[in-house]
Amino acid sequence: MYGELRTEVIDAPPQACFDALTDFDALPSWQGAVKAARVLERDEAGRGRVIEFEVDARVKRVTYRLRQIYEEPVRIGSEYLGGDFRDFAGEWRFVALDDGRTRAELDLRIDPGRFVPGPVRAAIADAVMRRSLADLKRHFAT
């Protein structure tokens, strides 16, 4: 299992960060690693509840399904439902800063399986985590 917590300051309020990361139709256009994000089920508010992601993890393209858990606009959690990983858990948290910006936190735990070499595990985690935060920051750059 690989786990890490990273943070980045984003030039947008928490609601804008939340909205960008839950607009699954647009996600592949600005999240570089995300090649597809298909909404399989919606919640009562019309937000994607079950999402199938296809991600370019640099060494391999992986597909997985997550159930999204929302605390709008401060948290997007996930429950792993299946796919190419053994286990996957991630959570975005958004903390409003006094200047109108947001501290975005991504807490990620990935278990790609026991037969995946360490460098491949690290590349997958890097693709999902570091690129996700950098792309969110770039999405709101002025």
Tens digit of pLDDT at every position of the chain (142 positions) = 778 899 999 999 999 999 999 999 999 999 998 999 999 999 999 999 999 999 887 777 889 999 999 999 999 999 999 998 889 899 999 999 999 999 999 999 888 776 666 676 677 677 677 889 999 999 999 6
Residue 12, token pair as written in the block: 């947008």
Please name the residues in contact with 125: beta carbons below 8 A apart, sequence gap of 6 or more. 2, 4, 108, 110
Other CB atoms within a 10 A radius of the CB of residue 50 amount to 16
Q: What is the pTM of this model?
A: 0.90
What is the model's pLDDT at position 47?
Answer: 97
Is 81 in contact with 66 (CB distance < 8 Å)? yes
**Looking at residue 68, which CATH number applies to its domain?**
3.30.530.20
What is the model's pLDDT at position 50?
Answer: 99
Give the span between the Cα atoms of 107 and 105, in whole angstroms.
Answer: 6
| Domain boundaries, position 14 | 4-140
Number of domains in the chain: 1
